C-alpha cells in the first residue's frame, strides 16, 4: 500500500484532485468539493452518479439505425453492381467512384458528430473521472477513424470503455479481443487457420498488458494462432468465433501448452508477473507524474492483483496517497489538448463552444478525439508543446475568452504559415471553420465571472481570477504583472472586453499550460 495522505487537506489539493481525476471546475465547484473532505471527495469521483446512457447517442450510432443503414448500403451496392453491368468501363468506374465518395461523406459527417458528442459529454458530465478513464482507455487500446472507417464501431467501443471504465482490466481485455473496431484496426478479422496475423497478438502483450521484454517472439507467434477465427458481421457489428477458421492445435505460450483460443491467451497473460505492474505504471503517469518510482509501482501491483485487476481500488489508493499531493507533482504536468480545452471551458463556466471550432482547435493542438496517430496512442508530456502548438494554445484562449470581440486573425500559425497561399486543404478547412465560428461566438459571461463590484479593485479582481485559473498562490512578480495590467485597463468602466483581455493574458502564460 502507498503511504496515505492525511485526512485534512487544503483547497489547492482539492482543486488538484478535481483537475487530475477530472477536468477541473469553477471556483464554487472547487469549494464544494473541498468541503467534502479528502476521502469523501475521492469516493464521490469513484461512485459516478450518472447513468451510462445519460447522453443519448447520435441516431446513426444506435444499434437499430446502424443496422438499418448497413442494410441500405448493401442494397445500394447490389443495385450498383446490376447497374454497371450494362455500362462502359469508364462510366461504370465513374458510378462506383460516386458511390464511394457518397459513403465517405457520410462517414466523415458521422465522425465529426461523434467527436462533438464525446467532447460535449466530457464538458457536461457529472462523472468526470469516468470520462477521464474513457479517454485513458481510448489512448491505451488505441484505434482510429482513419483505419476503422466505420464511426459507429468507434462509438460502440467508446461505450465499452465507459462500461468498464473503473471495472476489471482483465474483463475489459477479454472484451477488446472481440471488439469490432479493434479487430479492424489490428486486422484480427483477417486472421485464420493457416494464415494467422500477428498484429493483435503482439500489441496485446507489448502495449496493452505486459510491456516490452515480458514475452518472447515465440509467445507472439503461438498466440496469433489462438486469435484466429474471429469474424465481424458487417450488418450489425456483432462478432462470432468461427471454429472452422480457428487453429485448434496445441500452442506453447509462456511455457504452457494447451489448445488455447483468444480468451485462453488473455487468461494466461494475466498470470504473468508484469500484468500486475504494467497498467499501474501507466495510470501513475496519466494521473500523477512521469517516471513512477519502482517501489510505488510494485506496491500498486500487489494491490492490483489482490483486487483481481479491478481499476477502482487502484485509483482510490492513488488519489488517497501522500505522493499524489506532493509539491513536485502538483502543477507539474503538461495539459493534454483535450484537458486544456475542457478545463478552460469549465473554468470559464461555459457549457458549450462552437463544435466546428473545437474540432479545429483539436487539430491545431495535436489531439483529435477518435484519431490517435498510431497503435501506441498519443505521445504525452512535453510532446504536446512546441512553437506551433503553444502559439495555437494562445490563439485558442483568445478566441474562447474574446470571440467576435477580437478583430485579430484566430487561425494564425507561426510566421503566418496558416495564411500562406500554399497552405494545404486541411489547413484551409481549419482556418475557415475557425473564422466562421468566430462570427457567432460571444465568449463567456463576464458579468458572472467578474462582477462589476469586483472590477472596482484590480487586486481583488486579479486574485479571484488567479484562483479561478491557477488554483495556487502566484509569486509576487507574476501576480504584479496581472495587477499592473488590470490597473492599466481600469478607467471609468472596466468593460467585458477588457476583462476578456485580462483572462486571455492569464490563459496565455506558460504556467497555465501546467496542470
pLDDT, tens digit (0-9, with 9 covering 90-100), for 458-486: 999 999 999 999 999 998 999 999 999 99
Residues 349 and 416 in one domain: yes
Residues 290 and 356 in one domain: no
- Asked if residue 487 is part of any domain, the answer here is yes
Please state, in angstroms and rounded to a whole number, the distance separating the CA atoms of residues 126 and 326: 27
- Asked if residue 410 is part of any domain, the answer here is yes
Average pLDDT of 252-268?
Answer: 97
Residues 376 and 416 in one domain: yes
Which pLDDT value is given to residue 71? Answer: 87
Tell me how far the alpha carbon of residue 97 is from its chain's centroid. 34
Q: Are strands 239-241 and 251-253 parallel, antiparallel or unpaired?
A: unpaired
- Asked if residue 156 is part of any domain, the answer here is no
Domains: count for the chain: 3
Q: Quick check: 78 pLDDT over 50?
A: yes
Q: What is the 3-state secondary structure (H, E, C) of 159-209?
A: HHHHHCCCCEHHHHHHHHHCCHHHHHHCCHHHCECCECCCHHHHHHHHHHH
- Asked if residue 315 is part of any domain, the answer here is yes
Please state, in angstroms and rounded to a whole number, the distance separating the CA atoms of residues 226 and 349: 51
Q: Quick check: 438 pLDDT over 70?
A: no
Tens digits of per-residue pLDDT, 154-170? 999 999 999 999 999 99
Q: Quick check: 408 pLDDT over 90?
A: no
pLDDT tier for residue 494 given thresholds of 50, 70 and 90: confident
pLDDT tier for residue 429 given thresholds of 50, 70 and 90: low
Residues 342 and 432 in one domain: yes
Domain boundary among 415, 438, 461: 438
Please state, in angstroms and rounded to a whole number, the distance separating the CA atoms of residues 289 and 291: 7
Q: Quick check: 75 pLDDT over 50?
A: yes
Residues 428 and 476 in one domain: no
Which pLDDT value is given to residue 139? Answer: 98
Asked if 22 contacts 129 with a C-beta cutoff of 8 angstroms, the reply is yes
Residues 405 and 487 in one domain: no
Residues 470 and 430 in one domain: no
- Asked if residue 237 is part of any domain, the answer here is no
Tell which wins on pLDDT, 440 or 96: 96
SS3 category, 51:
coil
Task: Enter the pTM of the model.
Answer: 0.92
pLDDT tier for residue 414 given thresholds of 50, 70 and 90: very low
- What cell was used for 259? 489448445
- Asked if residue 302 is part of any domain, the answer here is yes
Least confident of 83-97, 117-131, 264-278, 447-461: 83-97
- Asked if residue 53 is part of any domain, the answer here is no
Q: Quick check: 89 pLDDT over 60?
A: yes
Residues 352 and 430 in one domain: yes
Average pLDDT of 172-196?
Answer: 96
Residues 284 and 306 in one domain: yes
Residues 303 and 345 in one domain: no
Tell which wins on pLDDT, 108 or 414: 108
Which pLDDT value is given to residue 15? Answer: 98
- What cell was used for 398? 483568445
Which pLDDT value is given to residue 245? Answer: 96
Residues 385 and 456 in one domain: no
Domain boundary among 398, 420, 438: 438
Domain boundary among 393, 413, 438: 438
- Asked if residue 283 is part of any domain, the answer here is yes
Which pLDDT value is given to residue 225? Answer: 98
Write down the mean pLDDT value for the chain.
92
Half-sphere exposure of 82 (CA within 13 A, CB side): 6
Average pLDDT of 219-232?
Answer: 97
Asked if 450 contacts 444 with a C-beta cutoff of 8 angstroms, the reply is no
Domain that holds residue 419: 337-438
Residues 396 and 452 in one domain: no
Amino acid at each position: 500500500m502507498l503511504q496515505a495522505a492525511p485526512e485534512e487537506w487544503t483547497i489547492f489539493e482539492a482543486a488538484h484532485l478535481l483537475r487530475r481525476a477530472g477536468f477541473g471546475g469553477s471556483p464554487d465547484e472547487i469549494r464544494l468539493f473541498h468541503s467534502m473532505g479528502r476521502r469523501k471527495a475521492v469516493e464521490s469521483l469513484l461512485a459516478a452518479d450518472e447513468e451510462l446512457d445519460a447522453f443519448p447517442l447520435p441516431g446513426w450510432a444506435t444499434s437499430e439505425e446502424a443496422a438499418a443503414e448497413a442494410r441500405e448500403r448493401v442494397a445500394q451496392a447490389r443495385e450498383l453492381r446490376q447497374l454497371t453491368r450494362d455500362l462502359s468501363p469508364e462510366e461504370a468506374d465513374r458510378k462506383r467512384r460516386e458511390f464511394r465518395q457518397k459513403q465517405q461523406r457520410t462517414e466523415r459527417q458521422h465522425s465529426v458528430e461523434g467527436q462533438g458528442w464525446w467532447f460535449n459529454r466530457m464538458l457536461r458530465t457529472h462523472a468526470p473521472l469516468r470520462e477521464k478513464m474513457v479517454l485513458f482507455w481510448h489512448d491505451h487500446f488505441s484505434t482510429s477513424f482513419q483505419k476503422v472507417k466505420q464511426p459507429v464501431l468507434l462509438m460502440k467501443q467508446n461505450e465499452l470503455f465507459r462500461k468498464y471504465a473503473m471495472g476489471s482490466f482483465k474483463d475489459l481485455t477479454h472484451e477488446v479481443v472481440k471488439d469490432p473496431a479493434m479487430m479492424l484496426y489490428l486486422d484480427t478479422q483477417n486472421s485464420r487457420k493457416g494464415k494467422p496475423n500477428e498484429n493483435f497478438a503482439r500489441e496485446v502483450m507489448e502495449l496493452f498488458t505486459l510491456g516490452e521484454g515480458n514475452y518472447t517472439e515465440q509467445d507472439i507467434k503461438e498466440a496469433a494462432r489462438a486469435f484466429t477465427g474471429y469474424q465481424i458481421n458487417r450488418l450489425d457489428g456483432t462478432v462470432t468465433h468461427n471454429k472452422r477458421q480457428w487453429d485448434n492445435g496445441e500452442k506453447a505460450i509462456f511455457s504452457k501448452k494447451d489448445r488455447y483460443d483468444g480468451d485462453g491467451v488473455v487468461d494466461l497473460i494475466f498470470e504473468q508477473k508484469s500484468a500486475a505492474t504494467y497498467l499501474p505504471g501507466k495510470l501513475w503517469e496519466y494521473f500523477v507524474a512521469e517516471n513512477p518510482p519502482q517501489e510505488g509501482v510494485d506496491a500498486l501491483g500487489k494491490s492490483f492483483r489482490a483486487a483481481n485487476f479491478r481499476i477502482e481500488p487502484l485509483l482510490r489508493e492513488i488519489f488517497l496517497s501522500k505522493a499524489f499531493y506532493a509539491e513536485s507533482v502538483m502543477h507539474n504536468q503538461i495539459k493534454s489538448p483535450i484537458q486544456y480545452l475542457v478545463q478552460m471551458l469549465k473554468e470559464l463556466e461555459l457549457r458549450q463552444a462552437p463544435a466546428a471550432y473545437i474540432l479545429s482547435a483539436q487539430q491545431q493542438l495535436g489531439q483529435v478525439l477518435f484519431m490517435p496517430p498510431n497503435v501506441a496512442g498519443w505521445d504525452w508530456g512535453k510532446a504536446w508543446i512546441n512553437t506551433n502548438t503553444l502559439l495555437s494554445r494562445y490563439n485558442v484562449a483568445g478566441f474562447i475568452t474574446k470571440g467576435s470581440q477580437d478583430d485579430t486573425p484566430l487561425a494564425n500559425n507561426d510566421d503566418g504559415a496558416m495564411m500562406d497561399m500554399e497552405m494545404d486543404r486541411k489547413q484551409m478547412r481549419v482556418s475557415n471553420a475557425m473564422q466562421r465560428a468566430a462570427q457567432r461566438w460571444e465568449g463567456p459571461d463576464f458579468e458572472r465571472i467578474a462582477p462589476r463590484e469586483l472590477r472596482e479593485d484590480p487586486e481583488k479582481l486579479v486574485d479571484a481570477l488567479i484562483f479561478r485559473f491557477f488554483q495556487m498562490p502566484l509569486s509576487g512578480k507574476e501576480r504584479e504583472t496581472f495587477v499592473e495590467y488590470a490597473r492599466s485597463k481600469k478607467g471609468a468602466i472596466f468593460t467585458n472586453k477588457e476583462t476578456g483581455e485580462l483572462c486571455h493574458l492569464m490563459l496565455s502564460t506558460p504556467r497555465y499550460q501546467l496542470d
